[in-house]
Amino acid sequence: MTTQIKFGTSGWRAVMAEEFTFHNVRRAVHGIARYVKSQRQQGARVVVGRDPRFLGETFCSIASEILSRYGITPLIIAEPAPTPAISYAVIHEKADGAINFTASHNPPEYNGIKFSTPDGAPALPEVTQQIEKEIAAGEQSGPESRSTASTQSLDPKPPYLARLREAIDVAAIQKAGLRVVFDPLWGAARGYSDLLLRDAGVNIATVHDYRDVLFGNHAPEPDDHLLEGLREKMREQKAHIGIATDGDADRFGIVDKDGTFLQPNYIIALLFDYLVESRGWKNGVGKSVATTNLVNALAKHHKVELHETPVGFKYIGELIKQDKIAIGGEESAGISIRHHVPEKDGILTGLLCCEMVAQRKKSLGQQLQELFAKVGSFYPMRENFRLTPEVKAKFTEKLRVDPKDFSGQRVSEVVRKDGLKLVLADGSWVCYRISGTEPVVRAYSEAPSEQELQKLSAAAKQWIFE
């Protein structure tokens, strides 16, 4: 049976040798090539890149060969490259898109294909649907082209690092004498964050700075429980901050000087506050419906327009492209800023956090407490619950009804931008989103204290299974 290749928000991902096979990769690239040709008949150029996963070089060669047969010039990146650097390369080269072989933060047995459009943004559903139709059409031979396009090589690093030097005050980091530890988790950011800081004279140490296609035998995800190596190096270096990126460097993980992991919700809020203060950018702020309402409170405090979007960075990317926001972020560790790529950038985020600590001369924990003192405290949490088919069917029906009260409180607002979000009388909230790919419901909760969060979380779980 032929595998149906489906492109989600972050492209198509599958387990290697099961669905992610040479045959299916060829099918997918043929579909992308035909889509690109439908947009530009002559002279099309497509960036081809990868993260450090197993067989990435081979997949890039396959893509290059297929694109050439369609008369599309492949711009091949020889070394593993971060997703945001590939995104910037598309814009910088005025290319017609990018094929990026990456499974981001997924476990090592996965690989994937992400397609970016000429604006450097992740392909929107209207584009991926056309690509899926082209794949399903099944023509694998390619056109009878008399002249195949010749391959060109591309190094995205110099222009991307030059762009970061415009976005970040690296001199301030150096001047403050900041000691930084960087953990690329064996991923595509190796030689990016550390090179930029080292060139500026910053005291920077690294861990996991070599290629390992198994990513230390776990997912290359910069989450709290996977950053012990970073913490150990921070203690050794007496570092002020630890910064980490995932497999393709579009996500980030930030560790404070005392070893505390700052969840992405808080990093988004802190950087928003800092950009308003340091850059004077007050054009707007973007966040997904499942991201902390600390951002909402700060938007009100700074008199900045708030854009609340469905989950999926493509919506934030659109706001970046239209210059409607100074910063946009998602609780799943995706951030970008004004005048930058319309794509998540974990490298930029880590460097901005270094600048913020250097300029404010306070730890991230101290800065967060000051935010709480300014606009109130917010404690967010995300939990995943697996559902049986019966419970899923029953709960899906339940989500269609607007409850009047929840966890002993009146429901003051019902938001249906993505899933169901219930805002309660005291400002706390719960949001439910059913996964489209697995029998899971994601429950997001936020309350003004840790004690109240535990109570709300228990109520959120009970409401699913009662």
pLDDT in tens, the chain (466 residues): 578 898 876 799 999 999 999 999 999 999 999 999 999 989 999 999 999 999 999 999 999 999 999 999 999 999 999 999 999 999 999 999 999 999 999 999 999 999 999 999 999 899 999 999 999 987 766 676 556 778 999 999 999 999 999 999 999 999 999 999 999 999 999 999 999 999 999 999 999 999 999 999 999 999 999 999 999 999 999 999 999 999 999 999 999 999 999 999 999 999 999 999 999 999 999 999 999 999 999 999 999 999 999 998 989 999 999 999 999 999 999 999 999 999 999 999 999 999 999 999 999 999 999 999 999 999 999 999 999 999 999 999 999 999 999 999 999 999 999 999 999 999 999 999 998 777 899 999 999 999 999 999 999 999 999 8
Spatial distance between the Cα atoms of 316 and 304, rounded to a whole number of angstroms: 16
Domains 12-155 and 159-375 share a fold: yes
- What one-letter code names the amino acid at 7? F
- Topology adopted by domain 12-155: Alpha-D-Glucose-1,6-Bisphosphate; Chain A, domain 3 (3.40.120)
DSSP type of residue 438: S
- Topology adopted by domain 159-375: Alpha-D-Glucose-1,6-Bisphosphate; Chain A, domain 3 (3.40.120)
218 vs 19, 174, 183, 189, 214, CA distance in Å?
A: 20, 34, 15, 17, 7
Provide the token pair at 359.
């300029």
Torsion of CA 150, 155, 158, 161, to 10 degrees: 120
Confidence (pTM):
0.96
Chain-centre distance for alpha carbon 147: 38
Domain extent listing, the chain? 12-155, 159-375, 379-465
Please give the CATH number for the structural domain made up of 379-465: 3.30.310.50
